[in-house]
Amino acid sequence: HAFSWLDQRADEEAKHVRATWGDEPIRVLTGWPLISGLPLEHIAWFRRHCPAQFAAAERFLFVNDFIGCRLTGQLCMDPSDASITQLMNIAAGDWDERLLEVAGIERRQLSPIQPSGVIVGRITQEAAAATGLPQDTLVVNGAHDQYCAAVGAGVTWPGRVLLSCGTAWVLLTVPENLATGLSSGMAISRHAVEGRWGAIRSLGGVGASLEWLLDHVWGGAGAGKKRERLYDAIDDAAARTPPGAGGVLFLPMAGGHAASYGPAGGGFLNLAISHTRDHLARAIMEGTACELRWAVDEMQATGIEVAELTMVGGAAKSPVWPQIVADILHVPVTVPSLKDAATRGAAILAGVGAGCFSDAEAGFAAWRGPENRLSPTVAHRQFYDERYVQYQATARLMASRAG
In which order are the strands placed within the sheet that holds 187-190?
187-190, 197-203, 169-173, 159-165, 306-313, 333-336, 371-374
Distance between CA atoms of 350 and 140, rounded to whole angstroms?
5
Query: Within 13 Å of residue 396, how many CA atoms lie on the same side as its CB?
Result: 7
306 and 188 share one domain: yes
290 and 328 share one domain: yes
Distance between CA atoms of 380 and 330, rounded to whole angstroms?
10
Q: Tell me the pLDDT tens digit for each residue of 109-130.
A: 999 999 999 999 999 999 999 9
136 and 186 share one domain: no
In a domain, 2, yes or no: no
In three-state form (DSSP H/G/I as H, E/B as E, the rest C), the secondary structure along 39-68 is HHHHHHHHHHHCHHHHHHCCCCCCHHHHHH
183 and 288 share one domain: yes
233 and 377 share one domain: yes
The mean per-residue pLDDT over the stretch 10-33 comes to 94
End-of-domain residue from the set 87, 118, 140? 140
Beta strand extents in 152-233 (DSSP E only): 159-165, 169-173, 187-190, 197-203
Distance between CA atoms of 79 and 253, rounded to whole angstroms?
34
In a domain, 345, yes or no: no
123 and 159 share one domain: no
156 and 36 share one domain: no
Q: Tell me the pLDDT tens digit for each residue of 366-397.
A: 999 899 999 999 999 999 999 999 999 998 88
Domains in the chain: how many in total? 2
What is the residue range of 34's domain? Answer: 11-140
What are the Cα distances from residue 151, in Å, to 47, 156, 184, 383?
Answer: 36, 6, 22, 35
173 and 243 share one domain: yes
102 and 153 share one domain: no
The mean per-residue pLDDT over the stretch 158-171 comes to 90
169 and 110 share one domain: no
In a domain, 6, yes or no: no
In a domain, 256, yes or no: yes
End-of-domain residue from the set 140, 157, 182? 140
Identify which of 331, 344, 340, 343 has the alpha carbon closest to the alpha carbon of residue 375. Answer: 331
Specify which of 123-132, 154-163, 183-192, 306-315 reaches the highest per-range mean pLDDT.
Answer: 123-132
Residue 401: is its pLDDT beyond 90?
no
Residue 264: is its pLDDT beyond 60?
no
119 and 162 share one domain: no
Residues in Cβ contact with 308 at an 8 Å cutoff, skipping those fewer than 6 apart: 159, 160, 161, 331, 332, 333, 334
In a domain, 106, yes or no: yes
In a domain, 116, yes or no: yes
Using alpha carbons only, how large is the chain's radius of gyration in Å? 23
Write down the pLDDT at residue 403: 56
Between residues 163 and 264, the one the model is more confident about? 163
Mean pLDDT computed over every residue of the chain = 92
Write down the pLDDT at residue 262: 47
Distance between CA atoms of 196 and 179, rounded to whole angstroms?
12
* Beta pairing partners, 160: 308
Using a 10 angstrom Cβ sphere, with 0-12 exposed, 13-18 middle and 19 or more buried, the burial of residue 46 is buried
Identify which of 111, 106, 152, 157 has the alpha carbon closest to the alpha carbon of residue 337. Answer: 152
Q: Tell me the pLDDT tens digit for each residue of 322-348.
A: 999 999 999 999 999 887 899 999 999
155 and 54 share one domain: no
In a domain, 385, yes or no: yes
Q: Tell me the pLDDT tens digit for each residue of 188-206.
A: 999 999 999 999 998 877 8
End-of-domain residue from the set 140, 175, 200? 140
Distance between CA atoms of 180 and 190, rounded to whole angstroms?
13
> Which CATH number is 332's domain given?
3.30.420.40
